[in-house]
Amino acid sequence: MPEPVRLVDLAKTLRSKNAGVDLVTFDIFFPDPETFHRVVDSRALTKESVAQLFRTEPGRVVTFLELEPLRAIKFTIRRDRPSGSPGDSDVFGAQQYAPLLSVTIP
Amino acid sequence: MRIVSPNGHLGFAPTRPGSFYESLRHDPDFLIADSGSCDIGPGPLGGNTCASPREWQCHDLELMLLAARERKIPMLIGSAGDTGGNRSVDMFVEMIQQIASAHQLDEFRIGYFHSEVPTQAVADAIRRGTMVPGLDGRAELALEDIDRTDRIVAVAGSAPYISLLDAGADVIIGGRSSDCAVFAAPAIRAGFAEELAYYMGKVLECASFCAEPYGGKESVMGEITDSYVDVTAMHPDQRCTPSSVASHSMYERSHPYFEALAGGTLDMTECRYEQVAEKTTRVTGPKFAATDELFVKLEGSGLVGSRYIGFAGVRDEYTIRHIDDAIAWARGQVADRFGEGGYELHFHVFGRDAILGKAEFVTTPAHELGVVVEAVARDDAMAKSVAMTATRQLFYARLPQVKGTAGSVSFLFDEVLAASPAYEWTVNHVIPATALPGLFPTNVVSSLS
């Protein structure tokens, strides 16, 4: 059995960015099919787990996709308020991926 | 047909000239750049301003214009001046004329089109019973949404670019446009398959973001044929690889395989990627499904109010542990003076949860905190006064066991600063094109006028 490892150490790219004004989308790319399958099979990332991780309701996770050909996991969350509104702290949505860094893959 | 994309958002940060000049050695047929985005927030559209410095916009336009005129190839700019608003389009047309004059270029034709839709026209369409469905979970557009909207742009497809090319334009300055349609337009006009043309647009729109390793503002080149699209990185250290090109296809979009456009949907599910040269990846297999009814995306922004910003630092460990109590105190003092409504007050606690908000998972605050106090109100005087009250009252927050009683926070300066007015995205919807006649009016003017 492999040792548990942090998602950030398995991913090649891990990013967040606006997808339009109401959504933030998260892309996680893996370097090879084995790593991709290890993460997918662990079920550490699911629609429900990312909703929990980002402290939002599963209904606000508008897409959750495991993309085998791209060796990627992608999900999209609806913002609490449109980008750049008063009170918003991340106009581009570019730093919202941070909670993913700490996820541990068994 | 070969198209060079020198910059993923022209003007936002300067184009790097080295890879751009390298791209010219490949004999491109068109130089095309997208110059706008809703990513920059609602302020520039609502306030009719630019997010980019004029100097950088001029730098990028000059770089492209001189190369385009020297080679006698067309140059196309989409979503001019960050927003694609009418003022931005007119400003870019003027800049092109000024650069042409400064360099004494031979006369050429500048085509341009506007994308703004009067808010009244959208309101009238709603009153006539037109359904204006919301995108990304928004409700159908209501008249109340229009009431709090200052400016609306419609997002153009390839049609106005094609008609301006037909009219003989050498340079085209477009209003708000679908990023990939700007690049697809000349290829569609030349008879290449729509699916390949739109795919090429999709991959070129952000310039070097489709290459690796990461490096912004570098040129990339797309070549379209009857059966494939080749994408080539122009910076000496960058390559377009199957992985970099495929992964770019999902950038900034909620779904990796589908891109909605005016007139149809680009489907990238069956795309195949193949490295055909050191820096070139070949793409085959995109599909395009045209829709029967033409829907146009609308983006709208409205003023929320004037905005002032205060800043306070905290180093006392007790105050840090009780920062929410200090904020509650400041809020209470503002409410005592201004009441509960008529303004917005946000505290951004850097060093604890300013960036992630409720999603923050580190529950221990840092050993020092920076609190940005953001106040928004109907006019400057009130916004300033609310920001001032809240920031000063952080200083005077009465926490029961604090030892340093001279002041609860540190000040870099003791005033509050005028920030850009606060706007909000009020419209993110689609409307049937038939409900808004006369969208995207085109014009052609001389470079000498």
* pLDDT for res B256: 79
In which element (H, E) is residue B76 found?
strand B75-82
- pTM reported for the whole predicted model: 0.94
Mean of pLDDT over chain B:
95
Contacts of B346 in chain A (CB under 8 A): 86-87
Residue pLDDT, tens place only, B52-78? 999 999 999 999 999 999 999 999 999
CA distance readout (Å), B121 to A101, B45, B298, B421: 47, 18, 12, 26
Task: Domain ranges for chain A, please list them.
Answer: 5-80
Which residues fall within 8 angstroms of residue B349, CB to CB, at 6 or more apart? B323, B327, B365, B369, B370, B371
Nearest chain A CA: its distance from B411 CA (Å): 21
CB contact under 8 A, B41 and A102: no
Range scoring the smallest mean pLDDT among B119-123, B126-130, B406-410: B406-410
Q: Any chain B CB within 8 A of the CB of A67?
A: yes
For chain B, positions 288-327, list CB contacts with chain A under 8 A.
299, 304-305, 307
Question: Is 80 exceeded by the pLDDT of residue B180?
Answer: yes
Sequence letter at residue A33? P
SS3 B165: helix
B11-42 burial: b if 16+ Cβ within 10 Å, else e: bbebbbeebbebbbeeebbbbbbbbbbbbbbb
HSE-CB for B45 with a 13 A CA cutoff: 33
- Please name the member of A63, A87, A90 whose beta carbon is closest to the beta carbon of B254: A63
Measured distance CA(B229)–CA(B217) in Å, rounded: 21
Q: Which fold has domain A5-80?
A: Alpha-Beta Plaits (3.30.70)
Give the pLDDT score at B251. Answer: 79
Query: How much is the average pLDDT of A34-56?
Result: 96
Is B250 in contact with A74 (Cβ distance < 8 A)? yes
A91 contacts chain B (CB < 8 A): yes
> Are B256 and A54 a contacting pair at CB < 8 A?
no
Decide if B354 touches A, using CB distance below 8 A. yes
